[in-house]
């Protein structure tokens, strides 16, 4: 049996558009490591009756419910009361927990507010989950064979509590053997182009695995999940056969497996080859550098990234010719070429890449519309410059050209 | 009456940790513009019975339910069937819609797959919502005075469909007068420090407004929402009084209102003063440049951002002295100072800011642990360099120091 986890996220801010949830992805990936899965998730407002009714409705034997948010000291933090209502018990004051809270405040040379006292109340029968990063302890309580784990909302508090106390409890509840799953990441191909090519292959594996395609900005992720627990070694072998088939059909469109990002995979390729990279950005404004340096160890191959936003800085830092800027403008094949070649020459990197264009929403003209972008690669073989008019808003245009120039480099590294 | 919207997001990928939802925030913010709000949201797997049961359970008179995802051509796209089940009608083939789909494919010089035919089926009684960015039309259908709007999952398809057809229908259902709401954004102060200071002020306004505090990486957002529709002018005036009180208590910790981000607010200040900025990044790797250039018009004040990741590039682009690197190391007060002064001198910007440090997870030593960061500001008044050891993982450390150096600049611009 696969462990069944439901998630209830409490907070007006998630429903009002103020905040984007990050817990669900974290919890989903975490419970997957022990072969459990989130079967449903519910986002509810800071409303005692609604929270209580939702908890009550979702209680099932052999299920775990993770509730997050609303454990703070203020009057709109009512999750404690609501969960107690939902399982039909009262709250109890825990002197030991109050002492602990006073101690935390003392550590910051402060004394707790009277309102913090609320954080020492728990539904009867709860096991307290210590919180090393805040003043709100969590708790776990059982009802009808269902485990209800209640955790504070801030990620830096919830995450360690999930990873230790809650995960341990889930392991003893569900067992610890994960379902086999693997993700194959592709680039430079859309879902509609991929689907007919891989249909036959997918058909051969559908009895053993669920196969889903998830489009992202530069390609498609193909996710394989075993339909049932079984001989893990055998499943891995079959998945390997699937991967071979996929790579045979799609070639280097398949850039990697797992959760490793495209920029990190490019970094791995550079590190393996002992080569280096330097970046010259205009419209992307640091996005490429940021995405490359998200990966630990990127200082091994990334030498520098110059965001030359003004014309003067293109001249000063990249050696772009004033005449080129004057004759062709900053958004041109010529300037993009000089940027790529310039950053490469200045840093001595194996490869130089560059972007220039009009991200919008303003700055477009009839000849050079919003979305027009040039992106280039300089190497020992000279420069290769491409251009595209990308649709979408400012963010999308910037993301697309960042992906496109990295793809240009990727193709160079894999062909 | 406030319009009540529920959201049902369909997709295994949201529950398995593969993908982070972006729809809820978008829909929440959008319906707020017409005074409606999301009252609950549910995330369910690609399972016909579960989707159908969830739709059925959430139907209420005068409610709108937005369902997203599972309208594609593949066998696991079963939202059409599930919604029809949930409201108790059958699917009908729409010849006109099939012709439209064939036309879309023709536009790309392709012919549709037989499987695409499924996308021309709709629950009986549906109004079709055209999709200008994909092959899956959406639809709206009524049941028991409840509107059910069903849209494809990809954001670039869902968003325009929500903004036009669905929003128009919601307006005629709920009326178009928004609830008054405003967000006051603060920086450089934590929730626990803010709470006791603002308690009295909040108390004075709690009868008219709900007031919530949302901590973010560099401060707290205070969100004021009118408890009921009313004289908008009067509510605005009262909110103005609240803002005056907040600013009196917190001073320039209050950096702005609405959804404008901190980097954009700094940009506004620079533009207003006719001043310019240049950035020298090390551990932040482009994050600061990226966040500044997220704002349209940033080319007016941002001259350049040099990500000098290697020691050589610090010398080459920023004029950092080799001796400083040798004597103190790249992560030092001295090098951070030379970076800020160097980028300012090279670009002629009014201000230069810089970061250097150890983002981790590797590279820390006993003297220079992971999280150690230096950040600095150079101006006509010389350089001001600060250092901190930030807790957290690589991403958190990078975000915190980016925020900290922008805060240093903000204080310079506002004091």
User: For residue B213, what pLDDT is reported?
Assistant: 81
Contact call for B16 and A288, based on CB within 8 A: no
More reliable by pLDDT, B109 or B285: B285
Contact between A335 and A283 under an 8 Å Cβ cutoff? The reply is: no
pLDDT digits (tens, 9 = 90+) for A358-398: 998 888 999 999 999 999 999 999 999 999 998 888 988 99
Average pLDDT, chain B: 92
User: For residue B114, what pLDDT is reported?
Assistant: 81
Q: Residue B266 pLDDT > 60, yes or no?
A: yes
In A, which residues are within 8 Å of B311 by CB distance?
Answer: none
User: For residue B176, what pLDDT is reported?
Assistant: 67
User: For residue B228, what pLDDT is reported?
Assistant: 81
- Based on its alpha-carbon atoms, the radius of gyration of chain A, rounded to whole angstroms, reads 27
Length of chain B: 415
Average pLDDT, chain A: 92
| Chain A residue with Cα closest to B214 | A13
| Chain B residue with Cα closest to A42 | B42
User: For residue A73, what pLDDT is reported?
Assistant: 83
Compute the distance between CA of residue A342 and CA of residue A348 in angstroms, rounded to an integer.
Answer: 10
Compute the distance between CA of residue B37 and CA of residue B30 in angstroms, rounded to an integer.
Answer: 9
Q: Which two structure tokens, joined as six digits, stand for A130?
A: 């210590």
Place of tokens 């920023």: B318
Helix B262-273 and helix B394-414: axis angle, to 10°? Answer: 30
Q: Residue B51 pLDDT > 80, yes or no?
A: yes
Residue B172 burial (CB count, 10 A): 8
| Chain B residue with Cα closest to A46 | B39
Q: Residue A189 pLDDT > 80, yes or no?
A: yes
Min distance A366 CA to chain B CA atoms (Å): 19
Min distance A375 CA to chain B CA atoms (Å): 17
Question: Which of A169-173, A323-327, B113-117 has maximum average pLDDT?
Answer: A323-327
Measure CB to CB from residue B25 to each of A20, A113, A290 and give the nearest one: A20
User: Which region among A139-143, A395-399, B265-269, B341-345 has the lowest average model confidence (pLDDT)?
Assistant: A395-399
Measure CB to CB from residue B13 to each of A212, A285, A362 and give the nearest one: A212
Q: Which of these, A62, A70, A91, A72, lies nearest to A8 by C-alpha position?
A: A70
Contact call for A18 and B310, based on CB within 8 A: no
How many CA atoms, within 13 angstroms, populate the side-chain half-sphere of residue A84? 16
In B, which residues are within 8 Å of A303 by CB distance?
Answer: 309-310, 312-313
User: For residue A108, what pLDDT is reported?
Assistant: 73
Q: Residue A176 pLDDT > 80, yes or no?
A: no
Measure CB to CB from residue B307 to each of A289, A309, A346 and give the nearest one: A289
User: Which region among A182-191, A346-355, B247-256 has the lowest average model confidence (pLDDT)?
Assistant: A182-191
Contact between A249 and A197 under an 8 Å Cβ cutoff? The reply is: yes
Torsions phi, psi of A342, nearest 5?
A: -65, -50
Compute the distance between CA of residue B17 and CA of residue A166 in angstroms, rounded to an integer.
Answer: 17
Contact call for A37 and B43, based on CB within 8 A: no
pLDDT digits (tens, 9 = 90+) for B19-45: 788 899 889 988 988 888 899 999 999
pLDDT digits (tens, 9 = 90+) for B123-168: 999 999 999 888 889 999 999 999 999 999 988 899 999 999 999 9
pLDDT digits (tens, 9 = 90+) for A201-232: 999 999 999 888 877 777 888 989 888 878 88
Contact call for B40 and A43, based on CB within 8 A: yes
Min distance A9 CA to chain B CA atoms (Å): 10
The predicted model scores a pTM of 0.77
Contact call for B50 and A37, based on CB within 8 A: no
**The pairing of beta strand A277-281 with beta strand A351-357:** parallel
| Chain A residue with Cα closest to B258 | A18
Min distance B287 CA to chain A CA atoms (Å): 5
In B, which residues are within 8 Å of A215 by CB distance?
Answer: 154
| Chain A residue with Cα closest to B116 | A192
């Amino acid at each position: 049996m696969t462990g069944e986890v439901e998630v209830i996220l409490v907070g007006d801010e998630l429903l009002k558009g103020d905040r984007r949830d990050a817990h669900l992805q974290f919890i989903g990936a975490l419970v997957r490591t022990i072969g459990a899965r989130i079967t449903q998730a519910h986002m509810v407002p800071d409303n005692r009756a609604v929270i209580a009714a939702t908890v009550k409705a979702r209680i099932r034997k052999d299920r775990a419910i993770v509730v997050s948010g609303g454990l703070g000291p203020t009057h709109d933090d009512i999750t404690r009361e609501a969960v107690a209502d939902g399982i039909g018990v009262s709250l109890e004051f825990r002197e030991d927990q109050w002492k602990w809270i006073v101690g935390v405040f003392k550590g910051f040379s402060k004394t707790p507010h009277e309102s913090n006292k609320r954080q020492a109340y728990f539904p009867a029968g709860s096991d307290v989950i210590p919180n090393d990063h805040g003043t709100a302890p969590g708790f776990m309580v059982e009802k009808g064979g269902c485990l209800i784990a209640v955790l504070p909302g801030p990620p830096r508090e919830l995450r360690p509590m999930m990873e230790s106390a809650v995960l341990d409890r889930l392991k003893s509840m569900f067992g610890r053997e994960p379902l086999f799953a693997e993700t194959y990441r592709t680039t430079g191909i859309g879902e509609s182009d991929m689907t007919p090519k891989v249909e036959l292959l997918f058909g051969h594996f559908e009895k053993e695995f669920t196969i889903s395609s998830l489009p992202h900005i530069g390609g498609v992720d193909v996710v394989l999940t075993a339909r049932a627990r079984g001989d893990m070694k055998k499943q891995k072998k079959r998945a390997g056969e699937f991967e071979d088939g996929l790579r045979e059909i799609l070639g280097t469109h398949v850039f990697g497996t797992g959760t490793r990002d495209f920029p990190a995979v490019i970094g791995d390729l550079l590190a393996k080859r002992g080569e280096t990279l330097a970046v010259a950005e205009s419209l992307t404004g640091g996005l490429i550098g940021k995405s490359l340096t998200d990966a630990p160890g990127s200082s091994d191959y990334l030498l520098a990234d110059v965001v030359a936003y003004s014309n003067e800085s293109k001249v000063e830092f990249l050696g772009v010719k004033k005449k080129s800027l004057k004759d062709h403008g900053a958004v041109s094949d010529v300037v993009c070429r000089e940027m790529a070649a310039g950053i490469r020459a200045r840093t001595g990197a194996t490869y130089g890449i560059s972007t220039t264009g009009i991200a919008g929403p303003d700055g477009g003209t009839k000849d050079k519309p919003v979305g027009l972008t040039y992106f280039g690669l300089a190497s020992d073989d000279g420069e290769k410059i491409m251009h595209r008019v990308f649709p979408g808003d400012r963010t999308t245009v910037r993301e697309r050209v960042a992906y496109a120039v990295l793809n240009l480099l990727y193709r160079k590294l894999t062909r």
